[in-house]
Structure 1
Amino acid sequence: MAIKRNRRFHAEVHASSMSDIMFFLLLFFLIISTLANPNVIRMTLPKSKTNEKTNKQLITISVTEEKRFYIDKQETSFENLEKELLAQIDPNKEQTVVIRIPFNMQVQDLVDVLQIGVKNNLKFVIATNPN
């Protein structure tokens, strides 16, 4: 009596380890992409369509087209801007600094003012027009 056994080779691919590897690669690239550009200035930009009232104290820095700097309507030079800004900020209160700068000024002028806030860990907001 000849009994034949069915011994065919069946190729199988176990994909469970492949999904683990893809998950770790995804996590790796997400973490690396957030660390890729650490020198970005982080700030909140106001939405121009909504007008939100707040109870926080505001300090206004205005820059004219002639590059004159004002802190709450008091003129100051750029060299003294940081010192006078820090003198007006109360460390016990949560204060926001609003920057008013003309739309046709160079980006470098805005970045120079924002660097003061980054260096001193202040919250800066750029004022915009409703339109």
Structure 2
Amino acid sequence: MNIRSRLRTHPEMHTGALNDILFILLLFFLIVSTLANPNVIKVSNPKAKSDTKAKQTVVVTVDKEQRLFLGQKQVPIQSLEAELQAYLSKETDKPSVVINGDSTSHLGTAIKVMQIIKKLGATPVMAVDNAGQ
């Protein structure tokens, strides 16, 4: 009589390649998620009920300390027109400039920026959140 216990192998799946694929996918989604939001300056936008989308050429941000940012670069309001002209001269059709203003910023600064944008022949668009009121 054979009393020895038989050596049984447990079926295992090799997961080395699966780990590599999951790691690559994780890196891909991390990189894509950081590129998805072009606005790096954090501001709390005012709320709106309707959805307005425009093809944005340039983003001008006004933060709560009334500092102006053209894209990610901080610019004084005196040189905003010259800086915007350099961006808008590259556009072929009528460009639009998105004004990303903090809800606690003064309205006067945003209006000055809008006047500069209209003077340069572009369309000013105010960015708002769609979350409602």
Whether the 8 Å CA contact 1:48–1:128 is kept in 2: the answer is no
Q: 2:82 aligned with 1:83, yes or no?
A: yes
Greater Rg over alpha carbons, structure = 1
- Match in the other structure for 1:50: 51
Does structure 1 retain, via aligned residues, the 8 Å contact 2:62–2:110? no
RMSD (CA atoms): 2.0
Deviations 1:74-110 (A, max 9, x none): 1111111110011011242332100011112222111
Aligned match of 1:108: 108
Q: Aligned residue pairs: how many?
A: 83
Question: Normalising by the residue count of structure 1, what TM-score does the alignment of the two structures yield?
Answer: 0.55
Alignment partner of 1:94: what SS? coil
Question: What is the identity, as a one-letter code, of the residue corresponding to 1:50?
Answer: D
Report if aligned partners of 2:63, 2:101 keep a CA contact under 8 Å in 1: yes
Unaligned runs of 5+ in 2: 1-47
- Give me the whole-angstrom Cα distance separating, in 1, the residues matched to 2:69 and 2:119: 20
Task: Determine the C-alpha separation between the residues in 2 that align with 1:128 and 1:50.
Answer: 9
- Check the 8 A contact 2:68/2:76 in 1, yes or no: yes
Name stretches of at least 5 consecutive residues in structure 1 with no aligned partner: 1-46
